[in-house]
Amino acid sequence: MNRQKIFVLPLIGLLFFTLACNLASAPESGATAIPAPTEAIAQATTAPALPASGACDNPYLPVVEGATWSYNLAGPIPDTYVHSILSIEADGFTEQDVFGTGVTRQGKWKCEGGNLIALTPSGGGSANVETEGVTVDFQTTSLEGVTLPASINPGDMWTQSLLLEGTQTINGETFPASNQTTQVCTAVGLESVTVPAGTFDAMRVDCQITMILSLGMSDPPTQMTLNLGNSSWYATNVGSVKTVSTGEGLDSVIELVSYSIP
């Protein structure tokens, strides 16, 4: 039993932080350099309005190929990461997070008239998160709702639920795993937020998240339910500038350090 609890922790940590990043991030660009924090302050006040990008046009999550955002993550596992948009399709896009501790996460989003839908916390049809000694590989088997609507007004509410099923490999041992996630979000309104990248007037969105994690190391499988709170601030034509997550001893703060949007 102790071994099961120890092994399920990497699954919880990886899934929680990749989910937090997904909820926090706007959508690797070789040509676009990530500015230093001091440069980002100037960019934060001069970034031009973005042209419409069809199905993926959303004022709070700019979908621009080659765009990059650099974040600091404070929490149980402090880290930094760079979020980027790898490619854009007619009805979706592919994103990537590269963490300072070695974790790489790729994910796919679906776009419908400006409504943005994260297909999984860590990817689309074939999702994976990798770090030293641990690999989480999932398939989306059920998906409903939206992650971020095309238009947001104070008081608006929306939901998203998804079921991920696949495997977790720890030091060469592979086990079946699943993640049932449901989030209920409410738009609070515009607030002034100061982060290393600058000061922004940003839309605050509060979400209540329930994650049911299962790892098939035994019969019956080891299962955990996490109830989490998540507040994110989105600045127009910039993306996510701050996210505060609470609950289950997994409190964290993500802040925008710099960004570059071509």
Q: Which three-class secondary structure state does DSSP give residue 56?
A: helix
Instruction: Quote the CA–CA distance of 129 and 10 in Å, as a whole number.
Output: 11
What letter would DSSP give residue 148? Answer: B
Tokens 């701050």 belong to residue? 242
pTM score, two decimals? 0.75
Quote the pLDDT of residue 222.
Answer: 84
pLDDT range class, residue 54, cuts 50, 70, 90: confident
Quote the pLDDT of residue 133.
Answer: 63
Closest to 230 in 3D by CA, of 207, 260, 262: 207
Burial class of residue 143 in the structure, from the number of CB atoms within 10 Å of its CB (0-12 exposed, 13-18 middle, 19+ buried): middle
Question: Degrees (nearest 5) of the Cα angle 133, 136, 142?
Answer: 175
Instruction: Quote the CA–CA distance of 220 and 79 in Å, as a whole number.
Output: 34
User: For 219-255, how does the pLDDT look when each residue is reduced to its tens digit (9 = 90+)?
Assistant: 787 888 989 999 999 999 999 999 999 998 889 999 9
User: For 12-27, how does the pLDDT look when each residue is reduced to its tens digit (9 = 90+)?
Assistant: 444 444 444 444 443 3
Instruction: Quote the CA–CA distance of 154 and 55 in Å, as a whole number.
Output: 23
What letter would DSSP give residue 47? Answer: P
Closest to 215 in 3D by CA, of 162, 182, 179: 179
Query: Residues 6 or more apart from 239 whose CB is under 8 A from it?
Result: 25, 26, 27, 60, 61, 62, 69, 256, 259
Give me 226's structure tokens.
Answer: 């996490």
- The residues spanned by each domain of the chain are 2-260
Q: Is the dihedral of CA 150, 201, 75, 79 positive or negative?
A: positive
Quote the pLDDT of residue 131.
Answer: 54
